[in-house]
Chain A
């Protein structure tokens, strides 16, 4: 049986209490997308600023559980400086991690994100961990600043 401390790792609890990049982004070329889980009502917004093909900055705001909040916080840190292709590939690996389909050697390539390995033992929480990534992907694929309001 998985222990709770495997899910609620210190890094996750820390990012839940003090989320990084927890603010909107403004300015030219900023994209945003909403992540919403109708089952639980969790809602978050992800902002992205691209520099060519690379993510210059990522941020988020919203309300959610410790897992989704920490996942968003660590995600916005991890994708900084990555290309679109690298980011999409990172999400794919992350998804395999939280669904228990990522080998130990591949886990290391995810850096700090590997703390979410424990989620695999709590299938109902996989959606919480992947919610911000879905929003990030939508922001990457979506239109740029002209099309979405940055207020």
Chain B
């Protein structure tokens, strides 16, 4: 996993998670659902929030709330300093070269749309090509379809094999002199596949294409070093990273961001405005028109601080062990088929059962207090590739335990009992 996850150094002695202690940091994990302890296995949809994040957001509103980069008054100065400090933390977290390369967005979808609307739209000409993969989330397909339609460019998709591994020889075959952008997920939300991003970047750069990495899933589970990955853009969401909803991060290489026109116009992204002409603010402010999600940004800062305290290496090791254990245990359930058995996986266990449709599995598990996702995971092309309309998906995070995997397995045995 070292290479693909972007881990820089050889691994030190396996770091460990004190899961019991971590669980106490997440208030919601203490609650019950339908009279049972909550077993939260829907982390790929959104993660739960540690006390530190909840407190940071409410403290901001209770004690420091003001708009940023506007007022000369004390609260505005403090809010501005707190907001800017998070940008510095994000830079360090992803090992970007400069804070100018960190743009706050509304989330992963917003970040992809920014790159599609600004970078790709100004670049694409009829006959150019954008390359995605068959395993992308709709949010890494639709913005590219829209921009291709507008510019006359063509969208192509790299297929995957029966295990859910990307066919790299197909990728290399599809890359050509007309390829301008390659948009690929780091960690598939539907299959759990971890893509070999570094190799993809090398191949794309060899033909002069820029690479956007969708890190919505990976950022909470793998150590992401954007310079080690070599990608041109990396996007993720705060709420899947134990932070608030409504905030995300776009990392873009400075050289590219500098050349990109603004996408949205408004306050905060200008240098000066007259009725005839506007000059734009330098990056990253050029891409942050309007009042940003200040409190969510503050909350995201607290979430990253929390993750750094636990350590991404410890998180990854814990989750790998949990996923391996869960995979082994569910394989023993009769009629269950895993969807996605790639060589390298993380966090996500996607499956179907002969006895029950994913929705029925979801309802029966819910009555046991177990939260999973059932559906197409906003990834209908890959559902079609595997010939299923939907899957049931359990997705793990740093606070999940082997006991919760056991509860999941008991729940699935109950599914067999009810529906079988």
Contacts and interface: CB of A to CB of B under 8 A. Distances in A.
Contacts of A26: none
- What size tier do the contact residues of chain B reach? 10 to 19
Interface in A35-90: 39-43, 63-67, 69
B389 A41 contact: yes
Interface in B8-36: 34-35
B360 A65 contact: yes
A1 B369 CA distance: 13
A126 to B, nearest CB: 12
B367 A42 contact: no
B100 interface: no
Given A40-B390, A41-B390, A66 B360 contact: yes
B374 interface: yes
B35 A67 contact: no
A63 B389 CA distance: 8
B418 interface: yes
Contacts of A122: 363
A139 interface: no
Interface in A5-59: 5, 7-8, 13, 16, 39-43
A143 interface: no
B89 interface: no
A4 B375 contact: no
B357 interface: yes
Contacts of A4: 363-364, 367, 418
Contacts of A67: 359-360
Given A4-B364, A42-B389, A66 B376 contact: no
Interface string B182-215: 0000000000000000000000000000000000
B413 to A, nearest CB: 14
A128 interface: yes
A107 interface: no
A125 interface: yes
Contacts of B364: 4
A40 B363 contact: no
A107 to B, nearest CB: 22
Interface of A: 1, 4-5, 7-8, 13, 16, 39-43, 63-67, 69, 122, 124-125, 128
Given A13-B419, A66-B419, 9 more contacts: A4-B363, A4-B364, A7-B363, A8-B360, A8-B418, A42-B359, A42-B390, A64-B389, A124-B363
Interface of B: 34-35, 356-360, 363-364, 367, 374-376, 380, 383, 389-390, 418-419
